[in-house]
C-alpha cells in the first residue's frame, strides 16, 4: 500500500523532479557560461542539445552502451561548437546570427537523422538509489539520482575553481572581458574562443544525451521543447557564475516538474498552465534582472550583447 503524503507528496515530487529535470539545464548553462566568459554567445546550444539527445540515443541503441552514447553526444556537441567558432572567426560575422542558424540546423539535422530511432528502445543510463533508506516509495523515486547530475555539481564547482585559479580560467576571462588585453598579452583570441565554444558544445551535447538516455528517456522530436534556449537565458540570471547556474537550474527543474507533480496527486485542472511554468519563469526572471539604468552586472564586456 502506498502511504498518502498529501501536500508533502507534491513537494517531494517537485524536489525529485527538479533534480531529474535540472541536469540538462545545468550542462547547457555551464557550457554557455564557459563560452560567454570567453566573449562569444552561442545560441546554437538548443540545436546542440537536440543533436546530443538524438546521437546519444542512437549510439546507445546501436552499441548497447549508454555511456558511449553520452560520450559521442558530447563529441558531436564539440563539433557543433567548432563549427560555430570557425564561422565566427571569419571577419564581420555576428555570433548571435550564427548561433540562430546552428540552432535551426542542429534541430533539423537531428530530426532528419533521428527518424529511425523514434520507435526502438535503447538501453538507458543507470541511476543511484540514494533514497533507499526511506520506506516511502515516493521518496525513493525522488532520490533516484543520475551520475550525470552528481558530475554536473562537481563540474560547476570545478569550473568556478578553474576560472579563479588556473591559467586557462584567467585567459578565458581575459578574452571575454578585455580583448585588447588578451591581444596585448599575446594570446590568440580566436584560439581561446574556439576552445571555449567547443567545450561549451561538449557539455550541451552531454546534457542532450541525458534527455534521451535518462529522463524522459526516449528520443522524439518534442524532447527538448526549448530547454536549451531557456538554459541560455538562465546564464544571464546566474550572472555567469557556475554555482549560481546550479541553483538556477534546480529552480527551472522545479518549475518544469511542477505540472507533472500536481498531476501525480490527481490535480489535473490547469495542467497545461502549470506545464508552461518554466517559460513564464524565464520571462519573469529576465524582466526582473534587467534594468534600463545599468548594464548587466557581471556580463563579460566583450559579448556582442554587452556592447
Partner 1 sequence: MTKRFGALTALDDVSLRLAPGAFHAILGENGAGKSTLVKCMMGYHRADAGRLLVDGQEHQVAGPRGAHHLGFGMVYQHFTLVPSMTVAENLILGRDDLPAVVAWAAERERMEAFLRRMPFRVDLDRAAGALAAGEKQKIEILKQLFLGRRVLILDEPTSVLTPDEADQILGVLRTMAREGQVTVVLITHKFREVEAFAHEVTVLRAGRRIGGGHVKDLTRGDLVAMMIPPMLAVEALTVLDDKALTAVRELSLAVGAGEILGVAGVSGNGQRELVETLAGQRSPEAGLIRVAGERYRPTRRQMRRRRVFVLPEEPLSNACVRTMTIAENLAFRNFDEPPIAVTGGFLSRRALHDRGRELIDRFKIRAAGPDASLDTLSGGNVQRTVLARELSQSPKVLVAQNPCAGLDVAATAEIRGRIMAARNAGAAVLFLSEDLDELMELADRIVVMFEGRLVYETARAAADPHVIGHSMASHL
Rounded to an integer, what is the distance from CA 304 to the centroid of its chain? 21
Q: Which residues pair with 145 in a beta bridge?
A: 128
| Minimum gap (Å) between residue 182 Cβ and partner 1 | 9
The count of residues in the chain is 307
Comparing CB distances to partner 1, the nearer of 5 and 170 is 170
Q: Which residues pair with 129 in a beta bridge?
A: 144
Query: Which residues ranging from 180 to 219 are in contact with partner 1 (CB under 8 A)?
Result: 180-181, 183-186
Each residue 28-67 as x (binds partner 1 by CB under 8 A) or -, in order, gives ----------------------------------------
Among positions 93, 191, 298, 305, the unique one binding partner 1 when judged by CB under 8 A: 298
Maximum pairwise Cα distance, the chain: 69
Q: With the CA atoms of 138, 143, 148 and 152 taken in that order, what torsion angle do they form, in degrees rounded to the nearest 10?
A: 120
Q: Where does residue 62 fall: left (phi above 0), alpha (psi -120 to 50 degrees), or beta otherwise?
A: alpha
170 forms part of the interface with partner 1 (CB under 8 A): yes
Comparing CB distances to partner 1, the nearer of 63 and 158 is 158
User: Residue 216: is the preceding peptide bond cis (ω within 30°)?
Assistant: yes
301 forms part of the interface with partner 1 (CB under 8 A): yes
Q: With the CA atoms of 112, 114, 117 and 118 taken in that order, what torsion angle do they form, in degrees rounded to the nearest 10?
A: -80
| Minimum gap (Å) between residue 193 Cβ and partner 1 | 15
Please measure the distance between the N-terminal and C-terminal CA atoms of the chain and give it in whole angstroms. Answer: 60
Each residue 128-167 as x (binds partner 1 by CB under 8 A) or -, in order, gives ------------------------------------xxxx
Comparing CB distances to partner 1, the nearer of 124 and 239 is 239
Among positions 98, 177, 205, 214, the unique one binding partner 1 when judged by CB under 8 A: 177
Comparing CB distances to partner 1, the nearer of 146 and 174 is 174
Among positions 105, 168, 247, 279, the unique one binding partner 1 when judged by CB under 8 A: 168
Query: Which residues ranging from 66 to 125 are in contact with partner 1 (CB under 8 A)?
Result: none
Enumerate residues 6+ apart whose C-beta is below 8 A from 207: 23, 24, 25, 26, 27, 28, 31, 49, 52, 228, 231
Rounded to an integer, what is the distance from CA 5 to the centroid of its chain? 32
Contacting positions for partner 1 (CB under 8 A)? 164-168, 170-171, 173-174, 177-178, 180-181, 183-186, 298, 300-301
Amino acid at each position: 500500500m502506498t502511504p498518502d503524503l498529501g501536500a508533502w507528496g507534491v513537494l517531494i515530487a517537485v524536489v525529485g523532479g527538479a533534480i531529474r529535470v535540472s541536469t540538462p539545464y545545468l550542462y547547457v548553462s555551464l557550457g554557455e557560461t564557459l563560452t560567454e566568459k570567453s566573449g562569444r554567445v552561442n545560441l546554437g546550444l538548443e540545436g546542440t542539445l537536440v543533436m546530443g539527445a538524438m546521437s546519444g540515443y542512437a549510439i546507445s541503441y546501436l552499441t548497447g552502451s549508454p555511456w558511449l552514447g553520452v560520450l559521442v553526444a558530447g563529441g558531436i556537441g564539440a563539433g557543433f561548437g567548432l563549427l560555430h567558432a570557425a564561422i565566427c572567426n571569419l571577419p564581420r560575422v555576428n555570433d548571435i546570427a550564427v548561433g540562430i542558424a546552428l540552432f535551426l540546423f542542429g534541430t533539423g539535422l537531428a530530426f532528419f537523422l533521428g527518424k529511425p530511432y523514434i520507435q526502438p528502445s535503447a538501453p538507458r543510463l543507470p541511476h543511484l538509489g540514494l533514497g533507499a533508506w526511506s520506506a516511502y516509495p515516493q521518496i525513493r523515486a525522488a532520490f533516484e539520482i543520475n551520475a550525470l547530475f552528481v558530475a554536473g555539481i562537481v563540474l560547476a564547482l570545478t569550473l568556478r575553481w578553474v576560472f579563479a585559479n588556473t591559467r586557462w580560467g584567467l585567459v578565458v576571462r581575459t578574452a571575454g572581458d578585455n580583448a585588447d588585453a588578451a591581444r596585448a598579452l599575446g594570446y590568440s583570441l580566436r584560439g581561446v574562443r574556439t576552445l571555449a565554444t567547443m567545450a561549451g558544445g561538449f557539455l550541451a551535447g552531454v546534457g542532450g544525451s541525458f534527455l534521451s538516455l535518462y529522463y524522459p528517456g526516449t528520443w522524439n522530436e518534442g524532447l527538448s521543447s526549448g530547454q536549451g534556449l531557456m538554459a541560455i537565458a538562465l546564464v544571464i540570471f546566474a550572472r555567469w557564475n557556475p554555482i549560481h547556474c546550479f541553483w538556477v537550474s534546480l529552480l527551472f527543474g522545479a518549475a518544469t516538474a511542477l505540472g507533472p507533480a500536481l498531476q501525480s496527486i490527481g490535480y489535473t485542472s490547469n495542467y497545461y498552465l502549470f506545464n508552461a511554468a518554466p517559460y513564464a519563469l524565464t520571462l519573469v526572471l529576465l524582466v526582473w534582472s534587467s534594468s534600463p539604468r545599468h548594464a548587466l552586472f557581471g556580463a563579460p564586456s566583450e559579448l556582442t550583447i554587452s556592447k
